[in-house]
Every structure is written in structure tokens, then in C-alpha cells.
Amino acid sequence: MAIKPIPDNYPRVIPYLIIQDVEKMQNFLKEVFNARITENMALPDGTVNHGEVRIGDSVIMMGKSNENYPPKPSMIYIYVEDVDAVYKKAISLGAKSVMEPADMFYGDRNAGFVDDQGISWWPATHVEDISAEEMEKRNAERAKQR
């Protein structure tokens, strides 16, 4: 049987976060986004060196930072069923607000927050289907207001 070049249950593009504390991040994502922890690989001291979570149909991989791989800030846009509830949950767990939930010109209601490891999260709930023409018009109007 041939080996599949893309394993089952994995999307083609997967964010990989380099962070200080993999287990802490996994627990944060579990609480805020209802993530499922799907894999952990530990170092001899028991510290998780590599971990994976699944949020809906998406996978996020993460690795513990070290002298060769320092923490790297990232920004992740993520669709959720209820952006307001996700935002409130994240803030209650200590995330810092970047933007409160708001309806945006492009048809999403989204918010922004930064977790304690420096990752920016932008949860969104799609609330309006917009044609390309309408999107262009709204974007032009928005540009005039700047």
C-alpha cells in the first residue's frame, strides 16, 4: 500500500506556533475554541516539546521554544459559531483585548485578542454574504473614512 503524501485528517496548510509553553497553549485553546488535544511529544523531563490540537476541521501544531527556535509572534484568523462568546471567554482567561466584537464591512463579525504567549487571535463569525461588487464599494467607502 502506497504512503499518502498528505496524511488523512490533516489539511494542506497547518499553522505551527513556536511558543514557551505548549501545554498551557493547548489548555487555552481547549477552553476558548473547544480544541481537542490530538498529540503530545514530551522531552525526557516531561515537558511537552511538540503538540497538536484540532479545532473543527483545522489543525494547529506547536513547539516549545529553545535557543535555536525562539518564540515567534503570529496572528491567526479563525471562524467560530459565536465570536462574542469566544471573545468573552478569552478575556476571562487573561487574554488582552485588541478589538471588541464588531460587524465588519466584509461580512464578518470579528474581534481580536492576544494570549499570554504573544499570539494574536482574530475570531470571526460570518454574518453576511456580500457580492464582489458590494465588497469593492464598501471597501472604497471605508478608505474614504480613514
What are the CB-based long-range contacts (under 8 Å, 24+) for 141-146?
A: 141/105, 142/105
What is the share, in percent, of the chain residues with pLDDT greater than 90? 89
Angle made by CA atoms 101, 95, 39, in degrees to the nearest 5: 105
How much is the pTM? 0.90
Taking only the tens place, the pLDDT of each residue in 51-74 is 999 999 999 999 999 999 999 989
Res. 6: pLDDT tops 90: no
At 9, is the pLDDT very low, low, confident or very high (cuts 50, 70, 90)?
A: confident
**Cell reading at 76:** 491567526
Question: Which domains, ranges and CATH numbers included, belong to the chain?
Answer: 1-72 (3.30.720.120), 73-146 (3.30.720.110)
- pLDDT, the chain, mean: 95
Res. 146: pLDDT tops 90: no
Taking only the tens place, the pLDDT of each residue in 37-49 is 999 999 999 999 9
Going by their DSSP bridges, the two strands 16-19 and 36-42 should be labelled as unpaired
Mean pLDDT for 12-18 is 95
pLDDT for res 1: 79
Residue of 143 and 33 predicted with greater confidence = 33
- The whole-angstrom distance between residue 102's C-alpha and the CA centroid of its chain comes to 18
What is the share, in percent, of the chain residues with pLDDT greater than 70? 100
pLDDT for res 109: 97
pLDDT for res 118: 96
